[in-house]
Amino acid sequence: MFSFSTPSVYQSSKCFVTYGIMSHLESEQVPSKGKPWSALLGQDFVHKVDLILPEELLQLVKDRITGNPSRAPVFYKVIMKLGQILEGDFFTEYIKIGNIMMLSEGKVDFENVFSLKDGLLTMYLDKETYERAGLVGKPHGVKGKRGLKPRWIVQFNLRSPSMLHGKKGFDRLAYACKNVLNAPVTWLFHNLSNTPVPDPLLRHYPTKYTSHPGLTEDISAKVPLLKPPPTILESHNRLDLDEFATDIYEWLSLIRLESPRVNVSDTVDPYLSGYAIPGNPEDIQEGKLCRISWQGFISPKWTQRILADAILALPSKSWFSLSVTSFARGIIGDSADCTILRPPSSPGEYFLWDIRRHD
């Protein structure tokens, strides 16, 4: 029996699992290097954040994180042409001086999609648009796939000193925006720096959104052993650790999905669902959990701060989980995901599931 690859220009996502110890955390200075911090900052455009913890700790989170409405992420939806990003005060104040994130609507598999982050403009173009634009890019995806339209990716560092009017490379980009990439596009916009006065965004009539936290309380769940058994750590058995990590990640995912399979009262016929709470039956406990969720267009820097606040707010021996999911960029709906678990009675230790898509 032969194994044929999936007819897609993209490879399947991969999950990297890490079990380690965090460096010391201070409230005034949040780490940016080393795991799990680098994994959070490595996300591009965050769409959803889930914080799962025992319900008896909910008030501590409200006092430090959700109790202040000004801490909720704010973003905008705006209709602009690509060329308008490169013009006037918007280009100077938001890109050359400030720092913004922007993402256009569409799927990179078959539509022209644009993104802007850290001054890097990325364009996913079909072959016809790429050739008409006259820009220099590289093929996007796996070669040798018949029946699939070729895609191209073009990138410009707009913060480069050469990205100014009158420079050859910038003028070529401006020409392509004026004559080819000139259709109005719906964007998501998030400002990471101080808002300039007057605000160049206002002339495009943006719609403001605030990602208020959503709270799901009173989750009566069967809770497995969330800390790896000492025998696995002492024996350095990677296969057993991977199996344990897979089981816990599946359980956390079911909590996020509000699946009835993890409920204490679940009595589903095993013929319909073969799922069982992982671990030995004597290690499984019943507990009350809660889930706090934010959804919108969120900066990875904000998720880094949420993780730090959760660590500082909660008792060192309590467990919690923080999951961060990026926007799905392809037609199949795959997205990058980062989940961090601090096991119970394990100050400083963490599990990290870093799921990376290949696009």
Q: Which residues have C-beta within 8 Å of that of residue 74, sequence separation ≥ 6?
A: 190, 208, 209, 210, 211
Verdict on whether the full-model pTM lies above 0.85: yes
Residue 298 tokens read as 């969120």
- What is the spatial distance between Cα 10 and Cα 21, in angstroms, rounded to a whole number? 34
Q: Check whether 4 has a pLDDT greater than 50.
A: no
User: Model confidence at 146, in pLDDT bands (50, 70, 90)?
Assistant: very low
Q: What is the mean pLDDT of residues 64-93?
A: 93
Q: Which residues pair with 17 in a beta bridge?
A: 353
pLDDT in the model for residue 165: 86
pLDDT band at 45 (very low <50, low <70, confident <90, very high): very high
Instruction: Give the strands of the sheet with 214-223, arranged side by side.
Output: 11-21, 349-358, 337-342, 320-326, 46-54, 285-298, 214-223
The pLDDT tens digits of the residues spanning 269-318 come to: 888 888 989 988 898 999 999 999 999 999 999 999 999 999 999 999 99
Angular region, 205: left φ>0, alpha ψ -120 to 50, beta rest: left
CB 18 within 8 A of CB 35: yes
Give the CA dihedral 154, 181, 299, 164, nearest 10 degrees.
Answer: 70
Token duo for residue 315? 């008792």
Q: Which residues contact 100 (CB under 8 A, 6 or more apart)?
A: 94, 116, 189, 190, 191, 192, 193
pLDDT in tens, 9-30: 445 678 888 999 988 888 778 8
What pLDDT score does 5 carry?
Answer: 44
- Radius of gyration (C-alpha) of the chain in whole angstroms: 23
Percent of the chain with pLDDT strictly greater than 90: 64
Mean pLDDT of 65-93: 93
For the chain, count helices (H), then strands (E). Answer: 8, 15
Q: Long-range contacts of range 109-112, CB-CB < 8 Å, 24 or more positions apart?
A: 109/9, 109/10, 109/151, 109/330, 109/331, 109/332, 110/149, 110/331, 112/181
